[in-house]
Amino acid sequence: MGISGGFVSGHRYSDAISSPKSTAASGAGYRSWPFLSWPFLAVSLLALLFSTYAFADNGAVIYKEHCAACHGSNGAGETMLGKNLKLRSLTSAEVQQQSDDDLARIIGKGKGRMPAFDRKLSKDQIGDVVKYVRSLKK
């Protein structure tokens, strides 16, 4: 029993091999990619802009959740814990003059009575907190 003249998926097999039409070459079945349309590009651009602002706010959210109990909402250390621990203000020149790497290391590994956050926060999150601390300077 040969294949020639048989049926494949409702079509004659001999028709499929005898007509080498290509849908790409003929243009049949070609549709423009939906993500190349201008509305999609506009929406993508807006999403990118909003996500950039969301990342900028990410440091503030992380700071509020993990740091504000001791350092206070404004970084001045004016909380009960901050006063008991005699924390210096994160807005002070002494803190702000430290490099980003130094601040990230202190946040990640801890210092003195400050706990380490490298197991609770990713490197990117620690970087976001450093950026937020930089925004607190006077």
Residue 93 lies in a domain: yes
| Most confident stretch, 3-7, 13-17, 44-48, 61-65 | 61-65
Question: What whole-number distance in Å separates Cα of residue 53 and Cα of residue 36?
Answer: 25
d(CA 64, CA 80): 16
Q: Strand, helix or coil at 53?
A: helix
Angle at 133 between CA 129 and CA 117, to 5 degrees: 40
In the prediction, which pLDDT does 89 show?
95
Q: Which range marks the domain in which residue 135 is found? A: 52-138
Q: What is the pLDDT of residues 22-40, one digit of tens each?
A: 444 444 554 555 556 767 7
**Which pLDDT band holds residue 4 (cuts at 50, 70, 90)?**
low
Q: What is the CA radius of gyration of the chain?
A: 30
- Of residues 10 and 76, more confidently modeled: 76
Q: Domain total for the chain?
A: 1
Comparing CA positions, the residue from 81, 99, 78, 97 lying closest to residue 89 is: 78
Instruction: State the average pLDDT for the chain.
Output: 78
Angle (CA) 122 75 112, round 5°: 65
Higher pLDDT, 137 or 81: 81
Residue 104: inside a domain, yes or no? yes
39 found inside a domain: no
Q: Which of 8-22, 53-67, 115-129 has the lowest mean pLDDT?
A: 8-22
Residue 137 is predicted with a pLDDT of 82
Residues 42-84 pLDDT 10s: 777 666 666 545 555 799 999 999 999 999 999 999 999 999 9
Residue 101, in any domain of the structure? yes
Contact 107, 121 (CB under 8 A): yes
The verdict on residue 1 lying in a domain is: no
CATH value at residue 137: 1.10.760.10
